[in-house]
Amino acid sequence: GGLDRGAAYWLANACTQTGRTPRQVAEAVAGGELDLMQLPRLPEEEIRAEAERLARMALDRIRQNRRTREELIGRYGERPAPWLYLIVATGNIYEDVVQAQNAARQGADVIAVIRSTAQSLLDYVPEGPTTEGFGGTFATQENFRIMRRALDEVGAELGRYIRLTNYASGLCMPEIAALGALERLDMMLSDSMYGILFRDINPKRTLIDQHFARMIQAEAGIIINTGEDNYLTTSDAYEAAHTVLASQFINEQFAHRSGMPDSQIGLGHAFEMDPSLEDGLLYEMADALLSRTCFPNAPLKYMPPTRHMTGDIFMGHVMDAMFNLTSVATGQQIHLVGIL
């Protein structure tokens, strides 16, 4: 076996030996046409040189994407906080485009494309444009490209830069982070512990994957979003408030160790306390202000109430209004709009 050498060694050797691109090599291997282990091995120095050449090509593209983003924001100007973050999730990328462009016209600053249910447990990344999903749309490089182009078009129409978000956490965290960087995504859900706590993924794999994924995202200028809101949909938000802060500190330190500055660490939290709790709004404000005080330079992401939404539309609007008030009063940066 050759797994101890990692994938890059065999890929670079195959590219050099066959004259094919990495994509062509991958397709040949998947199609049973090429066996990487049967190719002669070049000297280590030649393989390393080819691997570095391929990596530099990808990094050059990622850095150019970052410059393009900065140029567009410089041209249009930055939007005032909080940025309004809306979700599309039809399963069909072309329908998502229609919804996303209309959301931008109505004032959205950030568009998040929810992944198809359980994609976080797939150990491969689907390919091509997709029109069928379950509770969301598959995260693929082509879907990233389609939505990025659509948001650039509507952004030019509106004179605003519209940010694009997708999800990296799960079994293919580094792979999806790389694809997002190559297609100029602006934010990615990239929690260091989500796979361990909510998807039963091997802890060592998760911690290694999140480190490499965040290295890529740091270089790309991608703002990560962490998943502390998940704790509060499965536990009481008042009793478990301390777990959010603990997770935020852990996520911050892992991000710093990946070379990520505070300005890209979008730590998460949520407005999820039981509305029947006496002084609940004050507790929510205190909790949100605690996050802002502990992480003064982080673009905090604040999630709307979901757990205690009962279907009472009047109560729901009041809860969303209190969430909006808390978000603005405590200086949150990324505001997921509550919609009934």
Active site residues: 194, 229, 301
**Assigned CATH topology for domain 77-336:** TIM Barrel (3.20.20)
For the chain, the structural domain boundaries read 1-76, 77-336
* pTM reported for the whole predicted model: 0.95
For residue 182 the two structure tokens come to 């190559």
- Per-residue confidence band for 262, with pLDDT thresholds at 50, 70 and 90: very high
- Per the listing, tokens 């150990």 go with 123
Tens of pLDDT, residue by residue over 109-118, are 999 999 999 9
Integer Cα distance of 181 and 191 in angstroms? 17
Going by DSSP bridges, is the β-strand pair 83-88/334-336 parallel, antiparallel, or unpaired? parallel
Instruction: Write the CB contacts of 272 (distance below 8 Å, at least 6 apart in sequence).
Output: 229, 232, 233, 237, 303, 305, 306, 307, 308
| Res. 1: pLDDT tops 80 | no
Tens of pLDDT, residue by residue over 84-130, are 999 999 999 999 999 999 999 999 999 999 999 999 999 999 999 99
| Res. 340: pLDDT tops 90 | no
